[in-house]
Amino acid sequence: MPELPEVETVRRGLEPAMAGRRILGLELRRPDLRWPFPERMAERLTGARILSLGRRSKYLLAPLDRGETLIVHLGMSGRMQVNDAPTAAFHQPQGASEKHDHVVFHLEGGACVTFNDPRRFGAMDLTRTDALDDHWLLARLGPEPLGNRFDEPHLLAAFAGRRVPVKTALLDQRIVAGLGNIYVCEALHRAGISPLRRAGRIGADRVRRLVPVIRETLQDAIAAGGSSLRDYRQTDGALGYFQHTFRVYDRAGAPCVTPGCAGTVRRVVQSGRSSFYCPVCQR
């Protein structure tokens, strides 16, 4: 599933084509994705102007001039592609409709944005903009890891007394929003913290180190266009390439890349998910 860097990369790719543009038409080629589309979705969006394009955690947010906000989640395999957008930073010529092109936005200025989702685990919803923070998808989310609210005091308080592994704690979207399996593994390796260590047993000095390392890992991934492991593509169809610089993720049996470390990357399963780490330099 795309994590924060992938969704932010998609947001940046879509922004030139969508922000400030009016939706001239909306094609819904099926009645649902992960759940049914909102009632009268095409009618409510057609003619509306997209005021901006934002992101909260792994959700894309498009506030409209009609007082509603479109919420988009890419799911496991969803991607949004910009076609025939002469002013967009990402450009790919319009081609024939693909089998899994489920939603098509026809935008002022000539751009066409297509939501393609083979597995249909993606989702779209509409809600009042003034009630956005209370929407059930967003209401319980923690602070953004790249925002000012995510800091050492917050993480220390969130970890205090927690007996769960730090990997599990960091995947809890109520503690920090948008982190997923890949980037938690990578950040913990950079910080020298074992994913097996209990969250409540990590001292203030190590938490102080972990906060900027999480930010650094995410920023590096965004700069690389995210990670493409199976389905993820940028809005021009290009792959991300952060996967080529993974330190531990999906590298079980490979030597640790930490200078001077003689360890070998190990894989363990935690809460049904693979964790990759070096047992030598991660403590």
What are the distances in angstroms from CA 251 to CA 197, 255, 275?
Answer: 20, 8, 10
**152 catalytic residue (yes or no):** no
Give the number of other CB atoms < 10 A from CB of residue 260. 6
Q: Which of 11, 58, 167, 251 is catalytic?
A: 58
Beta strand extents in the chain (DSSP E only): 23-28, 54-56, 59-63, 68-73, 79-83, 101-107, 112-116, 123-128, 266-270, 273-277
Residue 198 to residue 161: CA distance in whole angstroms? 9
What are the distances in angstroms from CA 130 to CA 29, 60, 69, 127, 180?
Answer: 29, 17, 9, 9, 28
Q: Which of 12, 44, 209, 273 is catalytic?
A: 273
Q: Which of 2, 16, 63, 143 is catalytic?
A: 2
DSSP at 40: T
**2 catalytic residue (yes or no):** yes
Residues known to be catalytic: 2-3, 58, 273
